Amino acid sequence: MNAKKIYLRSFGCQMNDYDSARLIDLMGTHGYERTNEPNEADLIVVITCSIREKAQEKTFSDLGRIREIKKERPHVRVAVGGCVASQEGRRVVSRAPWVDVVFGPQTLHRLPQLLAERERTGRAQVDISFPEIEKFDHLPAPCAQGPTAFVSVMEGCSKYCSYCVVPYTRGTEISRPLMDVLVECAQLASQGVKEITLLGQNVNAYQGKGPDAKPVDFALLLEYVHDIPGIERIRYTTSHPKEFSDRLIEAYAKLPKLANHVHLPVQSGSDRVLAAMKRGYTHDWYLERIAKLRAVRPDISIATDFIVGFPGETEEDFNETMRLIEEVGFDASFSFVYSKRPGTPAASYADDTPQDVKLARLQHLQAVVDAKAAEISKSMLGRIERCLVFGPARKGGGMLSARTDNNRVVNFPADAACIGQMVNIRITDVFPHTLGGELVA
Ligand code: 5AD
Ligand code: SF4
C-alpha cells in the first residue's frame, strides 16, 4: 500500500512545535508519511497561533493558498489546529469552507477519528473541547529527531494576564503526572537525546501527581530529570517570575545539568503597567529574583519577553523598562508591540499612544538589548564552553555546529563522529551572529 502523505505547517510557539511533532508521530501510526511538498500531500495540517493579530492573520492567508491546492486536487483534506482553531472553532469553517477538520490543542490526538467522521458524513468536523490531558494517553512514544528534544510537562495557563489569549485558547493550567514525563524523557534519552527542554506555558507552576499521589513541584521534577542517564543538559520554557521560587533557585545550585541560561519573561519594567497587565510582581521584585539567582549562578544568561506600548504606557513607564534592561543586562529579548486580542480585558483599556511612537520605543529597546548581547558574545572570547554538537555547519567545509548554554551557535572543525555529543569548545572568534571555536580535549 502506498503511504498517504501529510504536509504540516506550524506557526507560533514551541508548544505548537511540540504538538506538531507528536501529531506527525501519531499520523505515522495511521499510515501517513511526512512530505515537505504541499502539492503532493493528501492531508494538509496547519497548526495556528493567535498570540498577536499578525499571527492570526497569517493563518487565513495560509488557508487562502491551500484553497488553490484543493482546487487542483479536490481529494486533499485540510485540518486546522492550534490556538486560532481553539478560539474560532466553527468560524474557521465559515471563513474558509474548504477546511475539513478543526481541532484544538487538547484534541489533536482525535485527528484520525475526525477525518474518518468527515468522510462518513461529508461534513466538516469541529472538536475544540478540553478533555483534561487525555491527549498524552493517546499519543505514541516520541521519536527523537537528533540530540535535542522537547517534552511537555504542563499545558495551559491560569494567570489571566490582561492582554493574553492563552488561558482561553489552551485552557487553564494542568500538569502531566511525574511518571509520564520521566518515561518520555527516558525514552528520548535511550534514542540518543542529550538535551531536554521541558515545555509549558508556565513550567514552574508544575504540580504533577507524584509516586504517592502527592503533587511534585517543578524544582523536584528537575531533580528527577537530572537523574536520567544520558541526559546532559536541561532547559525549560517558559517560566513566570511570580513562581520563580527559592526552591527553583536552589535547583540551580544543586543541578549542574541545568543550562546556564533562563528565559524569564518580565513584559515591562513599570510597576504601573505591570499592575495593569495583572502580572502580580513589581520591578524590584523581579530584580530581587535575579539577584538571588545570580548569587548561585553568577554568570547565568537571562533572556526575557517585553510588550511595548501596552494601553496607557507613558514615556516614564517605558523609561522604567529601559532602566530594568540596564539593571539586569538581558542577553536576548523577544519583544513585540502590544496587540489587542478580542475577548481579553486589556482590549477595552483606553489606548491613546500612536502606533509610530510604540514602534520607535520597540526599536530603541531592541537596539539596546542587541548591543548588550553583542557585548556578552565578545566577553566569551577565549572561554571554554560546554556545547551540544547538532550537525554539520551550514557553510560545510568539514565544520560542525554546536550550541552553547546561552544559545549561541559555534562553528568549529571536527570529525562528524562528534555530532550529537556534548563537547568542550574554546571560543576563538566572535562574529555578529555566530562564534568560531576549537575542540578542547
Ligand atoms: N500583544 C503583544 N505581545 C503579546 N504577548 C502575549 N500576548 C501579547 C499581546 N496581546 C507576548 C508576551 C509573551 C509572548 C509569548 O508573547 O511577551 O511572553
Ligand atoms: Fe499569557 Fe500571562 Fe499566561 Fe503567559 S502568564 S501565557 S502572558 S496569561
CA-to-CA distance for 210 and 221, rounded, in angstroms? 9
Ligand 1, atom 9, lies closest to the CA of 339
Asked if residue 182 lies in contact with residue 208, where contact means CB atoms within 8 angstroms, the answer is no
Best probe residue, ligand 1, of 202, 304, 305 (max atoms within 8 Å of C-beta): 305
Nearest to 112, CA basis, from 84, 86, 139: 139
CA-to-CA distance for 232 and 259, rounded, in angstroms? 9
In sequence order, the β-bridge partners of residue 306 are 267, 335
Residue 330 neighbours by CB under 8 Å, 6+ apart: 302, 303, 304, 369, 372, 373
Q: Is the CB of 264 under 6 A from ligand 2?
A: no
CA 307 to ligand 1 center in whole angstroms: 6
CA-to-CA distance for 59 and 83, rounded, in angstroms? 10
For the four alpha carbons of 8, 13, 16 and 18, in that order, the dihedral sign comes to positive
Q: Is the CB of 202 under 6 A from ligand 2?
A: yes
CA 364 to ligand 1 center in whole angstroms: 18
**pLDDT given for residue 133 in this prediction:** 62
CA-to-CA distance for 41 and 7, rounded, in angstroms? 6
CA-to-CA distance for 399 and 402, rounded, in angstroms? 10
Q: Is the CB of 166 under 6 A from ligand 2?
A: yes
Q: Is the CB of 351 under 6 A from ligand 1?
A: no
Across the 441 residues of the chain, what is the mean pLDDT of every consecutive 10-residue run?
89 93 94 96 97 92 94 96 95 96 94 97 94 77 92 94 95 94 96 97 96 94 98 97 97 98 98 98 98 98 98 98 98 97 96 97 98 97 98 92 98 96 98 96 81
